[in-house]
Amino acid sequence: MKRNIGLLLVLLLAFGLLAAQCAPSAQPQAAEGPIKIGFFSPTTGFAAADGTSALQSAQLAVSMINDAGGVLGRPLELVYYDDAAKPDQASAIARKLIEQDKVVAGVSGSYSGATRAAAPIFQEAGIPMVSAYAIHPEITATGDKIFRVGTLATVQGRVGAELMGNVLGAKRVAILTIDNDFGVSLTDGFKAHAQELGLEIVLEEKYPLGETEFRPIIGKIKEAAPDAVYATGYYNEAANLVSQAVDEGLEVQIVGQEGYDSPKFIELAGPAAEGVIITTDLNRDSERAATKLFLEQYKATYEEEADMVGASAYDAVHVLAQAIEAAGSTDPSAITAAIAGLKDFEDVASGPFWYYTAKREVVRPVSAQIVKGGAFHLFHEFEDVALVEAK
Amino acid sequence: MPFFQNLSNAVVLGSTYILMAVGLSMVYGVLKILHIAHAAVYTVGAFIGLLVFTWFESFWLALLVAMIASGVMGVLIYRGVYFYMLDAPRTVPLIASIGLFVMFTDLLQKGFLMGPYQQALPAGGAGLPSFQTGLFSLTSKQILVLLVTLVLLVVVYLLLTRTRVGLGWQAAAMDREMAGAVGVDLNRVVALNFFLGSALAGAAGVLVGVYNNSVFATMGDLPSYKAFIIIVLGGMGSLPGTIVASLLLALVENFLVASVGYVLPRDAIAFLVLILMLMFRPHGLLGQE
């Protein structure tokens, strides 16, 4: 048995050497054929709904770009894997995309934890990566190759506080935070700006991911009697929260954020969703041609409504395509520089993207949407650069 | 007065635990198998309830069909899998059971079945009224959960105490071999036991689906271990113990969250209660030493 293993090792080594010799030179990708873009999102596991939406939208972007003639006269190819929203899988996938598939750039269509695990691998390899909707601050802090399309969590939290204090005129607020990267960083941004606006925080609670029973916490909120509740969470927690709030007779404005932004939220919460206001990157009532095109094409292709997660993944692919075109090459450093230099980019569903900051955060309007008649509609648009630019 | 509101909410939550855990406790009582796949039966029950409700828009029909289908599924799991492992070490059916649970969950998540999304099950309160007093209020959905749980528990109680096969079940739960030796038809008893226990799990799936207005492929993950905590708390195989433990756990969870907030996730609270119980009363609340 031992001898067999030895033999196997020798064979493996021989193949390895052979393969190394046959491998093309340092050139990361052939100058002909499709331009490869790496992509990962959770298409199985608890986050499968978001991951599927992101993947479908990225594929839609690629096919639309290819139908219009591709980039630099070459078609784009999306190389994608399922990371199940797990950091260990995401880092293995990042290595595979870079080393085996030789992608020129990457898009994360995954959650913050998985995206944070993949980012350093792209950074070290010198390959640019764009995070679609993972909004934890640490992601872009990884290094100069890592960009973001979604609005940074702390900025979105700040916009949430602005919405409550200056648009809705609330004075006393309660905060309900989902206890993960996403929720905590949103709440950090919210609290910082709430303090500047002089809002009084009358209650602050955290709850775990996947919670379905909010009744005891709603009882506490009722006793604290706030003017409004800032509640972070994803569509399933949000649907339970707002339904149970109605059941328990909690009659205050609930303000959410992009985690609610899915047609599933309205389907699950039903009439209880009416009047809920969220901050998000996708304005469904937008008159912009690029936004309308995405919403129509997504519906036509997949026979379901698009969401913010999908729009962000779609936009991440468009940002890369635009950067490759502007760079005039598939050289990763040239692509990186072109993303950083992006100005007033209109071909994105959640745009326009005005510019990237030195810390690789996109500056763009943030939308507040209200649920009315079973659909998200525009409530307020925040375009003040001082408010929406990451500090 | 939030105390009574929290109390009534906790009893409703506890009722959903009861249906799930009683079925599991019944299976454990006779075969001593840790039947993790019980949670898959729960999910399949919810899924079938969703399908029937979508087609016929009747909660009661959905509940009935889901219970029968879940019961049949339970019997098939027993006859197709556990039956061949009755004399094997108890880890063998346990591992088979975990495998079954993972398989069903992954299968259900495929696009042609449930897909990755949560689906709404908007049965509301099935036409029942809501109830309000000065002390607390119950929504029609909550009344539905309480009513169905109560009726099913009474039916199970009558079946187990007033019928021959029920007495056979009690005998088998005390000592399977001895019961077989004195003429109890073990195959029939065990099959009925699986049918009944699984039908309860299916009912739990449909009720939780309606209560949270959401059915999804991974909804069994939480009950897969929480139901075990409950039957250990109750004293493995004791049905009254299981009922008391379900209510107690829901009360502890809700009152802890309502008084001090989420010091721990609710599931961690459940494990904490379990550890305390194992330290101070290892045979459970109503189990025999």
pLDDT at A22: 46
Determine the average pLDDT of the residues in B19-40: 89
A16 inside 8 A of chain B by CB = no
Asked if residue A226 has a cis previous peptide bond (ω within 30° of 0), the answer is no
Judged by CB atoms within 8 Å, which residues 63-82 of B form the interface with A? none
Bigger pLDDT: A20 or B114? B114
Question: Helix (H) and strand (E) counts for chain A?
Answer: 14, 15
pLDDT for the residue A6: 52
Identity of the residue in A206, A213, A236 whose CB atom sits nearest the CB atom of B118: A236
Question: What is the side-by-side order of every strand in the sheet holding A353-356?
Answer: A343-345, A353-356, A362-363
Look-up of token digits 């409504």: A305
B117 to A179: CB separation less than 8 angstroms, yes or no? no
A59 touches chain B (CB under 8 A): no
Q: What integer pLDDT is reported at residue A23 of this predicted model?
A: 44
What is the spatial order of strands in the sheet that A375-382 belongs to?
Answer: A200-207, A172-178, A228-231, A253-256, A277-280, A366-372, A375-382
The answer on pLDDT for B271 being more than 70 is yes
Judge whether A95 is closer than 8 Å to chain B, CB to CB. no
Could you tell me which residues come within 8 angstroms of residue A366 by beta carbon, excluding any fewer than 6 positions away? A151, A155, A156, A159, A279, A280, A281, A381, A382, A387, A388
Are A239 and B255 within 8 A, CB to CB? Answer: no
Q: Can you say how many angstroms the Cα of residue B38 is from the centroid of all Cα atoms in its chain?
A: 8
**Which among A128, A124, A171, A117 is positioned nearest to A37, based on CA atoms?**
A128
Which residues in A lie closer than 8 A to residue B216 (C-beta atoms)?
236
Closest partner residue to A216 (CB to CB) among B139, B213, B257 is: B257
Residue of A nearest to B110 (CA): A44
Q: Among B106, B118, B218, whose Cβ lies nearest the Cβ of A268?
A: B118
What is residue A1's predicted lDDT score, i.e. its pLDDT?
Answer: 41
Q: What's residue A26's pLDDT?
A: 41
Q: Which of residues 203-262 of A touch B (CB under 8 A)?
A: 205-208, 210-213, 215-217, 219-220, 222-223, 235-236, 239-240, 243, 247-249
Closest by Cβ to B213, choosing from A216, A222, A243? A243
Q: Judge: A248–B120 Cβ closer than 8 Å, yes or no.
A: no
Q: Tell me what pLDDT residue B260 has.
A: 79
Residues of chain B above pLDDT 70, percent: 99
Min Cα–Cα distance to chain B from A336, Å: 34
Question: B43 and chain A: CB distance < 8 Å anywhere?
Answer: no
Question: Beta strands A353-356 and A362-363: pairing type?
Answer: antiparallel
Is residue B15 within 8 angstroms of chain A, CB to CB?
Answer: no
- Hey, of A55, A211, A212, which one would you mutate to test binding to chain B, going by the most B CBs within 10 A of its CB? A212
Task: For chain A, 391 residues long, give each residue's pLDDT as a single digit of tens.
Answer: 444 555 444 544 454 444 444 444 444 455 678 999 999 999 887 788 889 999 999 999 999 999 999 999 999 999 999 999 999 999 999 999 999 999 999 999 999 889 999 999 999 999 999 999 998 889 999 999 999 999 888 999 999 999 999 999 999 999 999 998 889 999 999 999 999 999 999 999 999 888 899 999 999 999 999 999 999 999 989 999 999 999 888 999 999 999 999 888 999 999 999 999 999 999 989 999 999 999 999 999 999 889 999 999 999 999 999 999 999 999 999 999 999 999 999 999 997 999 999 999 999 999 999 999 999 999 999 998 888 888 7
In this structure, which amino acid lies at residue A329? S
Q: Report pLDDT for A304.
A: 87
Query: Is residue A165 a contact partner of residue A194, using CB atoms and an 8 Å limit?
Result: yes
Q: Which of the residues A205, A213, A242 would you substitute to probe the B interface, choosing the one with the greatest number of B C-beta atoms within 10 Å? A: A213
Q: Cβ A239–B262 below 8 Å, yes or no? A: no
Are A208 and B265 an interchain contact pair (Cβ–Cβ within 8 Å)? Answer: yes
Confirm or reject contact between B118 and chain A (CB < 8 A).
yes
Output the pLDDT for position A101: 95
The two beta strands, A146-148 and A129-131, are parallel
A51-77 burial, b at 16+ Cβ within 10 Å, e below that, comes to bbbbbbbbbbbbebbbeeebbeebebb
Predicted confidence at residue A136, as pLDDT, reads: 87
List the single residue in B109, B139, B258 with the smallest CB-CB distance to A219. Answer: B258
Query: Which chain B residue is nearest to residue A51, measuring alpha carbons?
Result: B116
pLDDT tens digits, one per residue of B86-107: 888 888 999 999 999 999 988 9
Token pair 């640019």 in the structure block, residue: A128
